[in-house]
Amino acid sequence: EVQLVASGGGLVQPGGSLRLSCAASGFTFGSYWMRWVRQAPGKGLEWVANVDQDGREKLYVDSVRGRFTISRDNAKNSVHLQMNSLRAEDTAFYFCARDNGGTPDYWGQGTLVTVSS
Amino acid sequence: QSALTQEASVSGTVGQKVTLSCTGNNNNVGTYTVGWYQQISHGAPKTVMIGNSLASGIPDRFSASKSGTTASLIISGLQPEDEADYYCSTWDYRLNAWVFGGGTKLTVL
């Protein structure tokens, strides 16, 4: 059974940093792209970042490029999102998902990031 | 403002057939595979359809189609448990980004 478990969310002040993690199991992790998607309270889904199987190719939405870094550790079956220079508008539930053929097929539960002073 | 346009809300009765639409352009829907995602009470999204293929564990009353720059999610025989928010998504090569629709709130009357 494919499982994705996100963690690392919390309350952080504007300008601060946070590192999200997503632990994967139930599939050959190193064979799939992975992504992060977020959802601000009461709003729709927004793609954040993708990383390829080797961790070399990374794609970001414009609003986070230069502040967020997606990475993966295939030895530990995990994908991470390092978030720096956080802003109030980054407040959201963050979901990790597995990509299959360029589209998410399995999603983890969200981890809540709140940016507030 | 989302790159993909979805109805804000759709409703139907149990057993009815409903169609949710997702309209984009040739930079996105017209060129790439569209995914459909179900989200109940803002929990984790669940993939319903990838292109015309049912995702794992999804009942076959769900189907999808695409014509030009509009994709559709069809639910034949609506069930109470289908009440949820539904989002479409695909790649946009002009924006160089994955884009989502604003979501459709499906209510089962």
What average pLDDT does this structure show over B18-37?
Answer: 97
Strands B5-6 and A68-73: unpaired
Residue A21 one-letter amino acid: S
Count other C-beta atoms under 10 Å from residue B92's C-beta: 19
Helix, strand, coil share of chain A (percent; to 5): 5, 55, 40
Whole-number Å distance between alpha carbons of A95 and A14: 21
Whole-number Å distance between alpha carbons of A79 and A19: 10
The pLDDT tens digits for B35-64 are 999 999 889 999 999 999 999 999 999 999
Cα torsion through A95, B40, B31, A33, rounded to 10: 30
> B73: pLDDT confidence band, cut at 50, 70 and 90?
very high
Q: Give yes or no for A50 touching B (CB within 8 A).
A: yes
Which of B85, B77, B80 shows the shortest CA–CA distance to B101?
B85
Would you call A95 and B45 a contact, using CB atoms and an 8 Å cutoff? yes
User: Could you read off the pLDDT tens digit of each residue along chain A, which spans 117 residues?
Assistant: 999 999 999 999 999 999 999 999 999 999 999 999 999 999 999 999 999 999 999 999 999 999 999 999 999 999 999 999 999 999 999 999 999 888 899 999 999 999 999
Question: Do B8 and B74 contact (CB within 8 A), yes or no?
Answer: no
> Which of A32, A45, A59 to probe the B interface (max B CBs under 10 A)?
A45
Looking at the DSSP assignment, which residues form a beta bridge with residue A37?
A: A47, A95
Question: Do A34 and A51 contact (CB within 8 A), yes or no?
Answer: yes
Question: Do A94 and A110 contact (CB within 8 A), yes or no?
Answer: yes
A–B interface: beta-carbon pairs under 8 A: 66
B41: its two tokens:
């009470």
Q: Give yes or no for B8 touching A (CB within 8 A).
A: no
Q: Give yes or no for B42 touching A (CB within 8 A).
A: yes
